[in-house]
Amino acid sequence: MTAFTPNPALDLVLERTIAVAPEKVWAAWTQPELLMQWFTPAPWKTVACEIDLRAGGRCNTTMESPEGEQFPNHGCYLEVVPGRLLVFTSVMAEDFRPIAAGEGDLPFTGRIEITPAADGGTQYRAIAMHADESGCEQHRQMGFEEGWGAALDQLVALMS
């Protein structure tokens, strides 16, 4: 497990200490039936989730808008350190196959760091890494902080 120092020009970071045990945070991120309950800020929903929890394994979710339109997202895991670190990306699918770039895509790599904190809680750090400043800014404008923060609130509510 390699330490990572975010680059403020390229990376967005959500860091918070939460009163949820590390193993519960891990479960929420890695069990489809749990992930679907918190992953997408309401009133959006996550209506499908496939997880193959290994480097190169698929990490697919389908989001549904309040109007019922569905948005499938494909990706794969890059690094899996049980209970501690989950790295995944939107630029590759199963077996590390590159995904063709398309308009409207948001190419990023996500890094979820789970560190035991006082009183059985978790120091939670979620990082979205981008290729360049414009990709980072686009993700910020799309509401990274608000969206990932609201999803984390839902995770905490679910797992508490």
* Interacting residues with its own copies (CB under 8 A): 2, 4, 10, 54-56, 78-79, 87, 89, 91-92, 95-101, 107-109, 111, 129-132, 135
- In angstroms, what is the minimal distance from the CB of 111 to its own copies? 8
In the 8-state DSSP scheme, what is residue 101? P
Compute the distance between CA of residue 45 and CA of residue 67 in angstroms, rounded to an integer.
11
- In angstroms, what is the minimal distance from the CB of 22 to its own copies? 22
Compute the distance between CA of residue 131 and CA of residue 11 in angstroms, rounded to an integer.
9
- Burial class of residue 92 in the structure, from the number of CB atoms within 10 Å of its CB (0-12 exposed, 13-18 middle, 19+ buried): buried
- In angstroms, what is the minimal distance from the CB of 139 to its own copies? 11
- With respect to its own copies, which residue has the nearer C-beta, 60 or 154? 60
- With respect to its own copies, which residue has the nearer C-beta, 19 or 55? 55
- With respect to its own copies, which residue has the nearer C-beta, 108 or 144? 108
First to last CA, the chain: 28
